[in-house]
Amino acid sequence: MSTPTHITMFDGKRRGPLVDYFRPYPDQIRTSLNTLDGASSWAYSLWRVPKGKDINDAPYSETFLQAAGSAEGMTIEMRTVETDGTPHHFVVGKPCTDPSAPLTRIISWADGAHSTAVRDGEVFTADEAAEIFYAYFLTDAVPTSCTLREMAA
């Protein structure tokens, strides 16, 4: 068992430490993402606890990785903040994503209350997303093979 360093949040409200008490971190992330059904469970977020903060009292982070949708089809977004305080919010894509492809795939969540249009290469299964989330857990970044499409502010 390791000392928790990251917080997870489901559906923008249920949050707690990412732990490896029951299964290793990669398996815990995969299991969590596989619970998303797009209706009763539809979003998963991960962020590092700031240095010097207690995991139980850590604030929400300005930088994070999040997914929304279902285990069969979800979108992944990453938020970063530059050292000067400038925020950036990206849609994550697979390495083969064509940056000129139209936004034709609709991912919905919260039982259809919310949706977003993405490219085909920006739709992930839970197992595919788990690989990206685990890389983020280790490095605070998505794999360099992923594409990033900045969202309008």
The model's pTM is 0.94
Tens-digit pLDDT profile for residues 133-152: 999 999 999 999 999 999 97
Residue 106 vs residues 39, 54, 71, 103, 118: alpha-carbon distances, Å: 15, 38, 14, 8, 6
Beta bridge partners of 93: 147
Tens-digit pLDDT profile for residues 35-60: 999 999 999 999 999 887 777 777 78
In this structure, are residues 67 and 43 in contact, taking their beta carbons and an 8 Å threshold?
A: yes
Q: At how many degrees (to 10) do helices 25-34 and 126-139 cross?
A: 140
In this structure, are residues 107 and 91 in contact, taking their beta carbons and an 8 Å threshold?
A: no
